[in-house]
């Protein structure tokens, strides 16, 4: 990835995908802000019923540069996953803004205008790039995106094994 210091990236969603994306982008020199509409990070794990377990085993489910800081169950509980994600956000000093719901994205010539709502009302901010990490179960809630000419990908498209290798964020 080409490092572009001083560029700002909005990540929508503080589930594990948004946190992982924010971590990598921040490490590459971008200023990253994560917008999360909920009162808690963790996405599906923040709303899962207590008896549910990760289907993977814990050694298969962590950020590659942040091992579990405690020993979780073989199949971690939602509580353990949330504890892990909170520790990761804290460790990497990721700027997560809870109770910030993104309402709309509007494409500008060289940037995106992000309209969001928090307890103080509706606001707008501008970012060079936006990562939509709203989870595959919530994608239809995230409308509208005003699109003109730039290419856009939803993470769902990655399941179709279309390779993004060699595509630079320019």
Ligand X SMILES: Cc1cc2nc3c(=O)[nH]c(=O)nc-3n(C[C@H](O)[C@H](O)[C@H](O)COP(=O)(O)OP(=O)(O)OC[C@H]3O[C@@H](n4cnc5c(N)ncnc54)[C@H](O)[C@@H]3O)c2cc1C
Contact residues toward ligand X (CB under 6 A) are 12-18, 35-38, 43-45, 48, 52, 54-56, 101-102, 133-135, 137-138, 141-142
Instruction: Label the pairing between strands 112-118 and 101-107.
Output: antiparallel
Residue with Cβ nearer ligand X (54 or 89): 54
Residue with Cβ nearer ligand X (52 or 157): 52
**CA terminus-to-terminus distance, the chain:** 10
Residue with Cβ nearer ligand X (109 or 120): 120
Shortest spacing between CB 129 and ligand X, in angstroms: 16
Burial of 152 (0-12, 13-18, 19+ CB in 10 A): exposed
Residue with Cβ nearer ligand X (60 or 170): 60
Contacts of 109 (CB under 8 A, 6+ apart): none
Shortest spacing between CB 30 and ligand X, in angstroms: 19
Shortest spacing between CB 103 and ligand X, in angstroms: 7
Shortest spacing between CB 34 and ligand X, in angstroms: 9
């Amino acid at each position: 990835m080409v490092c572009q210091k001083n560029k700002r990236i909005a990540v929508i969603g503080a589930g594990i995908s948004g946190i992982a994306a924010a971590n990598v982008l921040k490490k590459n020199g971008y200023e990253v802000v994560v917008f999360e509409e909920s009162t808690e990070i963790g996405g599906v794990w923040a709303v899962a019923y207590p008896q549910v377990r990760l289907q993977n085993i814990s050694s298969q489910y962590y950020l590659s540069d942040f091992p579990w800081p405690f020993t979780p169950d073989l199949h971690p509980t939602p509580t353990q996953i949330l504890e892990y994600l909170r520790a990761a956000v804290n460790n990497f000093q990721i700027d997560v803004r809870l109770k910030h719901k993104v309402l709309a994205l509007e494409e500008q010539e060289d940037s995106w205008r992000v309209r969001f709502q928090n307890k103080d009302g509706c606001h707008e901010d501008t970012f060079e790039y936006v990562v939509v990490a709203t989870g595959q179960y919530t994608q239809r809630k995230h409308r509208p995106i005003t699109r003109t000419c730039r290419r856009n990908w939803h993470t769902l498209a990655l399941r179709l094994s279309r390779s993004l290798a060699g595509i630079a964020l320019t």
